[in-house]
Every structure is written in structure tokens, then in C-alpha cells.
């Protein structure tokens, strides 16, 4: 792990030098963990050409040094982390200081403006761009999280039946995830039934699942901080009717096409179109309102994006979701989602990829 962190910090320092920056304030728990291994909830990171300093508080005085290793200096502040960060920057002789405009708040920027003689340079996405390409250790953690998640879903299939509420099913699933070792839930699990399955980001409710309902289950696990994100859509209590089977087949074919043709080097827009074109050809283009997928890692939504607006190239090592869906108000919705890692030769599925329609009769 330490070697990976060293490489990451070296790559970031090269980016800073290329932009003429003396140091960077790294904000956001995922970015700090990526560069140092620190898992605490309170910390600010300053990285310069030859020194990395984590400023934290008393709660992490013992934890932080053990997590970040010898190459990172830990400074424990009794009052203000920002005061400690300012003093550290002054001690490092910083003149041009990069701040992440996407993660540093206005209040935090005001704290940094108290630095005398220091030019604050707003930048965006330096660490996030590094995080987009995963190393083998990161991919292995996501693969394990995906396997853990699908095992948990399989374990509760016998619990799912008409008469259960969405919340009851979600609770059973989340308990199964934790029992199998998930550190936490990467996001609030979605269990949406019947007409509510047409809500792409539905919250689980007390609605009772009825016979013949669609049931969309969107969930994930977390291993070593890394997330999986999987969606399965099933029919509960009966066989699927003809419309359900035909609509499901369109989404399944679109997902299979994307998984088969995605690769590093495509643009995000080209990746998105692999599924979108097929769904549009089936006359359901307007029902597919979100993007095909997103990056996955220490956060459940990160770079890169498989979207109609992303002209950036998908990097080798990127882990992305592949999740086409169609949604019809009053009838229901279907989403099928797996996690894949990209190489120039194609996409390797990290989740189980088992997408055949499940009918719980």
C-alpha cells in the first residue's frame, strides 16, 4: 500500500510542477485517503515538492501516524486545523498555493486567504484525474466488494416475496452485506417496487410488494474503502408478462452490447452510445434519461463518466458502472448494472454479470 501511495504523490507533484505551484491543499476524505491512507473524518492535507503534511485533531493522534506511514508528517492541532495548515504552508515557503475549487468551500477559502504573501490558485480535479485509473490493488478491492454484494443479494432471495415492504427487503439486504464484511454501505440502498421502480433514485418506502411487480434493487458493498455498485431488476410473485419480458430484453441487450464493446481509449460519449443507440432503436430513447455509467472507487460516483457530454478519453485501469435503464411512469422501470475495469483490449466484468431475468414465483 505504501508504495502505491508514494507513486500517487509523485504523480501529483509532477502535475503541480507543471502548473507552477509550490503546494496543493488536498480536500475531501477520499482524496486524502488515496494519497495517504488516512481514514479519519477530520483532516487537511498539504502536499509540496518534498514534504506532505496531514493536519488533524486529537482524536486521530494515534491512528493517523499508523495509517499514513513515515513519509507523511502528522501535525495534531488542538484548536484550528486551518491555523495549523497556514503555519505549515508558511514554514514550507509556499508562494503559489493550489486549492481545489470543487471541494474547498468559500469559508475554507477565507481561512486560506489569511496567508500573507501567498497567491491562491483555484484548480480542479488533479487528484480525481489520478484516481480515475486504478492500480491492481484498487481493482482487487472493488472485485471483492462486488462479490460480497452479489453474495448478499443471493442470500436474501428467499426473503423476497409479495407482502414484504421495500424497507424490510432493504434492511435484510443491508444486514447481509454487513455480515459478509462490508465496511459500510457506499450509498443508501434502493429497493423500489411496482410503479415506484420508474424512479431512478427512489428511496425505499413502506410500500408492500405485490404479485407481478418489478423490483429494482440498487446496492453495493465497501472493502478497504472501495465501492461496488450493482443493480438487478426482478419480477416478484409471478412470471413476467409479455411487455415485461420484451422491455427487459432491450435493456439486457443494451447492457451486453456495452460490456462487450467498451474499452479504454473510447470517449465517454462513445461508451454511452453503445447502449443508448440500441435502446433508441427500440423506440425507448426518451425513457433512458441518465448516463450509461460512472467511475467507481473510493467514492461511488467519480471519474470518468460514460455520458453523452463527456468527450474525454476513458483511461486504462478505469473502473466504471454499466447501467442502462428505461423508466415508464405508472408502469415501472428496469435497470441492469455491473462493474467493469477497462483496458485497451476491452472491459473485464468485476461483478458476476448474471443478467438473465429472475422471476421469483
Pair (214, 112) in one structural domain: no
| Band of pLDDT at residue 329, cut at 50, 70 and 90 | very high
Q: Which of residues 130, 151, 173 is at a domain's end?
A: 130
| Number of domains present in the structure of the chain | 2
Pair (103, 167) in one structural domain: no
Domain residues for the domain of 190 are 136-360
Pair (72, 51) in one structural domain: yes
Pair (333, 245) in one structural domain: yes
- Relative to beta strand 23-26, strand 346-349 is unpaired
Q: What is the pLDDT of residues 141-167, one digit of tens each?
A: 999 999 999 999 999 999 999 999 999
Say how many C-beta atoms besides its own lie within 10 A of residue 3's C-beta: 9
Mean pLDDT of the chain, nearest integer: 96
Give CA–CA dist 43/55, Å, rounded: 5
Pair (172, 283) in one structural domain: yes
Pair (15, 84) in one structural domain: yes
In order, the DSSP letters of 102-150 are: TTS-HHHHHHHTTSTT-EEEEE--HHHHHHTS--HHHHHHHHHHHHHHH
Interior angle at CA 189, CA 124 and CA 195, nearest 5: 110
What are the backbone dihedrals phi and psi of residue 256, each rounded to the nearest 5 degrees, phi first? Answer: -65, -40
Angle between helices 268-281 and 242-261 (to 10 degrees): 150
Average confidence (pLDDT) over 162-184: 98
CA-CA-CA-CA torsion sign (297, 298, 299, 302): negative
Q: What is the pLDDT of residues 58-116, one digit of tens each?
A: 999 999 999 999 999 999 999 899 999 999 999 999 999 999 888 888 999 999 999 99
Q: What is the CATH number of the domain that holds 30?
A: 3.40.350.10
Q: What is the pLDDT of residues 286-296, one digit of tens each?
A: 999 999 999 99
Pair (168, 28) in one structural domain: no
Q: What is the pLDDT of residues 233-287, one digit of tens each?
A: 999 999 999 999 999 999 999 999 999 999 999 999 999 999 999 999 999 999 9
Q: Which of residues 105, 130, 155 is at a domain's end?
A: 130
Pair (29, 120) in one structural domain: yes
The pTM for the full model equals: 0.95
Q: Which of residues 130, 164, 184 is at a domain's end?
A: 130
| Cβ-contact 292, 276 below 8 angstroms | yes
Average confidence (pLDDT) over 329-355: 98
Q: What is the CATH number of the domain that holds 286?
A: 3.90.230.10
| Band of pLDDT at residue 1, cut at 50, 70 and 90 | very low
Q: What is the DSSP letter of 248?
A: H
| Band of pLDDT at residue 307, cut at 50, 70 and 90 | very high
Amino acid at each position: 500500500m505504501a508504495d502505491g501511495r508514494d507513486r500517487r504523490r509523485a504523480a501529483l507533484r509532477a502535475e503541480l510542477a507543471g502548473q507552477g505551484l509550490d503546494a496543493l491543499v488536498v480536500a475531501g476524505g477520499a482524496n486524502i485517503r488515496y494519497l495517504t491512507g488516512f481514514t479519519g473524518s477530520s483532516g487537511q492535507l498539504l502536499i509540496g515538492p518534498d514534504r506532505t503534511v496531514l493536519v488533524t485533531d486529537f482524536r486521530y493522534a494515534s491512528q493517523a501516524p499508523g495509517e499514513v506511514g513515515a513519509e507523511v508528517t502528522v501535525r495534531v492541532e488542538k484548536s484550528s486545523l486551518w491555523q495549523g495548515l497556514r503555519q505549515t504552508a508558511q514554514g514550507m515557503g509556499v508562494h503559489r498555493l493550489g486549492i481545489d475549487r470543487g471541494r474547498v468551500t468559500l469559508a475554507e477559502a477565507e481561512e486560506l486567504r489569511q496567508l500573507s504573501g501567498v497567491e491562491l490558485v483555484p484548480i480542479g480535479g488533479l487528484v480525481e484525474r489520478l484516481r480515475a485509473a486504478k492500480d491492481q490493488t484498487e481493482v482487487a478491492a472493488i472485485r471483492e466488494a462486488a462479490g460480497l454484494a452479489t453474495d448478499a443479494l443471493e442470500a436474501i432471495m428467499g426473503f423476497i416475496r409479495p407482502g414484504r415492504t421495500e424497507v424490510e427487503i432493504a434492511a435484510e439486504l443491508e444486514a447481509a452485506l454487513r455480515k459478509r464484511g462490508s465496511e459500510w454501505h457506499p450509498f443508501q440502498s434502493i429497493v423500489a417496487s411496482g410503479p415506484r421502480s420508474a424512479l431512478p433514485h427512489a428511496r425505499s418506502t413502506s410500500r408492500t410488494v405485490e404479485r407481478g411487480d418489478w423490483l429494482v434493487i440498487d446496492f453495493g458493498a465497501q472493502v478497504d474503502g472501495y465501492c461496488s455498485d450493482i443493480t438487478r431488476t426482478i419480477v416478484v410473485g409471478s412470471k413476467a408478462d409479455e411487455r415485461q419480458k420484451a422491455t427487459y430484453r432491450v435493456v439486457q441487450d443494451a447492457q451486453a452490447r456495452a460490456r462487450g464493446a467498451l474499452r479504454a481509449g473510447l470517449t465517454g460519449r462513445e461508451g454511452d452510445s453503445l447502449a443508448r443507440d440500441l435502446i433508441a432503436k427500440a423506440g425507448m430513447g426518451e425513457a433512458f434519461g441518465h448516463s450509461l455509467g460512472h467511475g467507481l472507487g473510493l467514492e461511488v460516483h467519480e471519474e470518468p463518466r460514460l455520458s453523452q457530454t463527456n468527450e474525454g478519453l476513458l483511461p486504462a485501469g478505469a473502473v466504471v458502472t454499466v447501467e442502462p435503464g428505461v423508466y415508464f411512469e405508472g408502469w415501472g422501470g428496469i435497470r441492469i448494472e455491473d462493474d467493469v475495469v477497462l483496458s485497451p483490449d476491452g472491459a473485464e466484468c468485476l461483478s458476476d454479470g448474471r443478467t438473465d431475468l429472475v422471476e421469483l414465483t
